[in-house]
Structure 1
Amino acid sequence: MIRKIFFACSLMLALDLRATEAFPRDVQKFIDDREGCDHMRGEEPEPGDRQRARELKREMDRLCKGTDRKLAQLKKKYAASAIVMKRLGEFDPQIEAAVPEK
């Protein structure tokens, strides 16, 4: 039973790693940063929690700034790659104006 579970987990990990390797390094870095950005944009600090608000702002600054421009550059660079364009097409092309100033 444990071997079956281990095998299933190993297989899922291998498939996940292969999917990650399907993208060029610059595209994967963008995906990782942008997914982090999108996560931070969805976070709401408790009212009055200034420390958490600062943490969220710092992380959004780090992960979100420049992503609109970077997404446009990557789409131009990889326009001939259907798999890359499909993945990049999942991201909203203009989010920086929507990132709140806290």
Structure 2
Amino acid sequence: MRLLPMKPSVVNIPPPPYVPDLPPSDGAADIQPFPDEVTRYMVDRDSCDHFRGEEAYDPERLAYLQDNIAALCTGTDARLALLRHRYAHVPAVISALSGYDDRIEGNASQ
């Protein structure tokens, strides 16, 4: 009986080395991540906006959406104003926050 060579398993194949598509720019080393409170806000607000955009097609779904909107959206107007004030001197943060509506509370379904 002749044994055939085993095909390599996906588990046994190492990933290819990472090769960037483009060389890094001169300012690449200067990139700093957003402050934690800004990142946390963006995650919370994006989650809030997700539920605000969902359709309430039955009473159970409406209750589910209202619970999530209350948990995720409450306080976001004040937090956004605070972050915009606190980081007014950081253009990257202001740019990242510019896509968020100033006031959504009390109008969470739009």
How many residue pairs get matched?
A: 86
Q: In the TM superposition, what is the alpha-carbon distance from 1:32 to its structure 2 partner?
A: 0.4
- Residue 66 of structure 1 is matched in structure 2 by 75
Task: Kindly provide the amino acid, as one letter, of the partner of residue 96 in structure 1.
Answer: E
What's the TM-score, normalizing by structure 2?
0.69
- In the alignment, which residue of structure 2 is the partner of 1:14? none
Task: Kindly state the Cα deviation for residue 7 of structure 1 after the two structures are TM-superposed.
Answer: 5.1
Gaps of 5+ in 1: 12-20
1:84 equivalenced with 2:93 (yes/no): yes
**TM-score, normalization: structure 1?**
0.74
Of 60, 63, 76, the match for 1:54: 63
Name the one with the larger helix percent. Answer: 1
From 7, 29, 45, the equivalent of 1:34 is: 45
Q: Which has the larger radius of gyration?
A: 2
Q: Which ranges of structure 2 fall in alignment gaps of 5 or more residues?
A: 1-13, 21-31
Q: Which amino acid aligns with 1:24?
A: P
RMSD between aligned residues: 2.3
Separation of aligned partners in 1, 2:34 and 2:68: 24
Distance in 2 separating the partners of 1:45 and 1:99: 13
Aligned sequence identity (%) = 35
Name the SS of the counterpart of 1:92 in structure 2.
Answer: coil
Question: How far did residue 66 of structure 1 move?
Answer: 0.9
